[in-house]
Amino acid sequence: MRRLLAFDIALFALVVVLFALSDSVVSVPLAVVQLLPLLVRRRYPGAALAVIAAATAAHSLLGMARAVGYLPAALALYGAATHRSPWVRWGVCGGAVVLVTVTGAIRHGPVEGGLLAAGALIVTWLFGAERGVLLRERALVAQLRLDRHLADRAAATASSRERLARRLHDGLAHTMTVMLVQGEALRATARLTTADEERLDVVLGAGRAALAEVRLALAEEAQRDAAATLDGRLAALREAGLEADGITGLDTLPAAVREVAFRLVGEAATNALRHDGPGARLDAAVTRAGETVRLGLTSTPGSGRPASEPGGGGFGLASLAEDVTAVGGTLTYGPAERGWRVTAEFREPPTHRAAP
């Protein structure tokens, strides 16, 4: 992003210098209106092109030199032609080409003015549209690669978890369950002394604790699998163009909700790249207020693009909302300033401290 900003500033400075040295400026205010929108052409490509095209047309009618004077319009046209919106890509770009071409023909004649402007702008327009197609195809290929990677990773994780669960269930957990059942039966049917009952209670308590540790080990394994899956998912998304360096604090979430939180971050990251393309950014923040712990995920489009709404949140978030509810939390999502925000709130269990 910093290199892109530096490039835009250098390009803007170069165009300003060319305007100053070419002696093409007839109206300084119109020249300023032609140049300034270049600074926001990535964030507002359609609006920037419309303003620059109108200023270029007016400046051309006043006698502006053609070559350098059309450069801001060409740069804005190239950027707008890559936009994902057909209205911007064809409507605004087409209108700008027609406007600049007609005014050029009026001022400088149909050949030197109209055809020259039309040829240069149409070629620029087509190059921009082709680059937009390549960017969208690149995002699609990255998404397909990501889906395949996630499917392979999920299959491997499920297989590993199934093997571990089967070994624990068929081995230690099954044996401990049998011991507990037999111990309870012994207490119900045998005549035991008080000392024997106390010994049996110790044995049964140890057995229940061991069985609980087995279940806890399975839960922790599920969390480790979810964390590893998230790491792989974020790595693939970063390779495809997502900026996801601001994801911190997940390890501080309550253990009971951590697995759901990992999957929620993965879904939000995938949606950010899918809907806003390469350069999109995802940030995560964990905050606490009383007994409530909040996980906030915010995605913003890259290169100044306007955010696109993910169709009401999509099936993935709707499904995860049920999982969040199942662990006692709530999930909300919707548009935010220049982006999309997902917020999950959970009840944090009280911390028990040992008395001094």
Q: Which of 91, 120, 138 is the last residue of a domain?
A: 138
Round to whole Å and give the CA distance between 184 and 178.
10
Domain extent at residue 290: 242-356
Q: Is 178 a domain residue?
A: no
Lowest mean pLDDT among 116-130, 135-149, 219-233: 219-233
- Is residue 293 within 8 A of residue 348, CB to CB? The reply is yes
Same structural domain, 255 and 131: no
Q: Is 19 a domain residue?
A: yes
Q: What is the pLDDT of residue 307?
A: 47
Q: What is the pLDDT of residue 311?
A: 45
Q: Which of 138, 160, 190 is the last residue of a domain?
A: 138
pTM more than 0.75: no
More confident residue, 175 or 195: 195
Same structural domain, 15 and 127: yes
Q: Is 149 a domain residue?
A: no
Q: What is the pLDDT of residue 27?
A: 79
Altogether, the residues listed in the chain come to a count of 356
> Which CATH number covers residue 331?
3.30.565.10
Q: What single string gives the DSSP state of each residue in 69-129?
A: HTHHHHHHHHHHHT-S-HIIIIIIHHHHHHHHHHHHHHHH-IIIIIIHHHHHHHHHHHHHH
More confident residue, 78 or 140: 78
Q: Is 343 a domain residue?
A: yes
What's the total number of domains in the chain?
2
Q: What single string gives the DSSP state of each residue in 22-45?
A: HT--S-HHHHHHHHGGGGGTTTSH
Q: What is the pLDDT of residue 10?
A: 78
Q: Is 324 a domain residue?
A: yes
| CA 4, 8, 10, 11 torsion-angle sign | positive
- Residue reference for tokens 């200023």: 55
Q: Which of 113, 138, 163 is the last residue of a domain?
A: 138
Same structural domain, 127 and 249: no
Query: Across the chain, what does the average pLDDT equal?
Result: 77
Encode pLDDT of 26-58 as tens digits: 778 888 888 888 888 888 888 999 999 999 888
Q: Is 154 a domain residue?
A: no
Mean pLDDT confidence for 170-196: 75
